[in-house]
Amino acid sequence: MAFAALRAVADLALPRTCAGCAAQPVALCEACSTELRDAMMTVATATRPTPCPEGFPVTWSQTSYDGVVAALLRSFKDAGRADLAPQLGRLLRSALAGLISHDPACAQALHAGQQLLVVPMPSRSSSTRGRGREPTVELTRSAVRATPPLVVCRALRVSDNGRDQAGLGAQDRARNLRGAMRLSGAGRARVRGRVCVVLDDIVTTGSSLVEARATLLSGGATDVVAATVAATRRRGG
Ligand SMILES: [Zn+2]
């Protein structure tokens, strides 16, 4: 933790290179800013992994996981570039807006004057310790801000048992996560009777969202939907 804090201070003092291409000595170069703006201008769409796991929630993504957006997400999560939260949060907010304006469960809840519970995808505490921060929570706060019908609730926890999801295939990811999530105290108190919107950076195989949905439904959520910054597009067969 102390090391992460020291490194954050060092990052402030050292000259940076572009978080998108690492080629320019600026935080984000002109070319990468332009590509990011293009991603922002595209229309968010409903997305499904291929193959789509059973129990996968309705999920909207702003863009595909490649190019500058993929580089920025990696810099944000793993290279300490917390300063990218506003840009990436805008992409997530756009996906969230697309979801809310098209999803019947969200529309019905809002029509009935209910709040939507916005739930950041939980991180393993080992990875939070390693990074000294929780990128998905930062992204969620940046995306949602204080918009009255949306309330951020850290309703989910994920156990440290099992391996990091990175580098695992679809079946291993699903097996690795099964039963690994649980409701937090706040989740137990607030999920029942609510429509929950899970926010995450990327959807890949969909196994985290399947597990999040099952856990929130087990706590009495009436419906669970999701939005992500980006979606991995499988190429070829
Ligand atoms: Zn660049």
The tens place of each residue's pLDDT in the chain, 237 residues long, gives 466 665 555 555 554 799 999 988 898 999 999 999 999 999 999 999 999 999 999 999 999 999 999 999 999 999 889 999 999 999 999 999 999 999 999 999 999 999 999 999 999 888 888 888 999 999 999 999 767 789 999 999 998 776 677 777 777 877 777 778 999 999 999 999 999 999 999 999 999 999 999 999 999 999 999 999 999 986 543
Tokens found for residue 7: 């490194």
Q: How far, in Å, from the CA of 19 to the mean position of ligand 1?
A: 6
Q: How far, in Å, from the CA of 29 to the mean position of ligand 1?
A: 4
Burial of 25 (0-12, 13-18, 19+ CB in 10 A): exposed
| CATH class assigned to 43-231 | alpha beta
Q: Is the peptide bond before 51 cis (omega within 30 degrees of 0)?
A: yes
Distance separating alpha carbons of residues 92 and 75, to the nearest angstrom = 16
Q: How far, in Å, from the CA of 82 to the mean position of ligand 1?
A: 17
Q: How far, in Å, from the CA of 151 to the mean position of ligand 1?
A: 34
Residue type, 150: L
Q: Where are the domains of the chain?
A: 43-231
Burial of 130 (0-12, 13-18, 19+ CB in 10 A): middle
First to last CA, the chain: 43
Q: How far, in Å, from the CA of 75 to the mean position of ligand 1?
A: 12
Looking up tokens 């402030």, which residue turns up? 12
Neighbours of 126 (CB within 10 A): 10
Q: Smallest Cα–Cα separation from 44: which of 89, 97, 106? A: 97
Quick one: angle between helices 30-41 and 67-78, nearest 10? Answer: 110
Q: How far, in Å, from the CA of 27 to the mean position of ligand 1?
A: 8
Q: How far, in Å, from the CA of 179 to the mean position of ligand 1?
A: 40
Q: What is the pLDDT of residue 237?
A: 33
Looking up tokens 């499904």, which residue turns up? 48
Query: Is the pTM for the entire model greater than 0.75?
Result: yes
Q: How far, in Å, from the CA of 71 to the mean position of ligand 1?
A: 10
Q: How far, in Å, from the CA of 74 to the mean position of ligand 1?
A: 14
Q: Are 94 and 135 in contact (CB under 8 A)?
A: no
Q: How far, in Å, from the CA of 22 to the mean position of ligand 1?
A: 6
The conformation of residue 82, written as its DSSP 8-state character, comes to: G
List beta partners, residue 158.
181
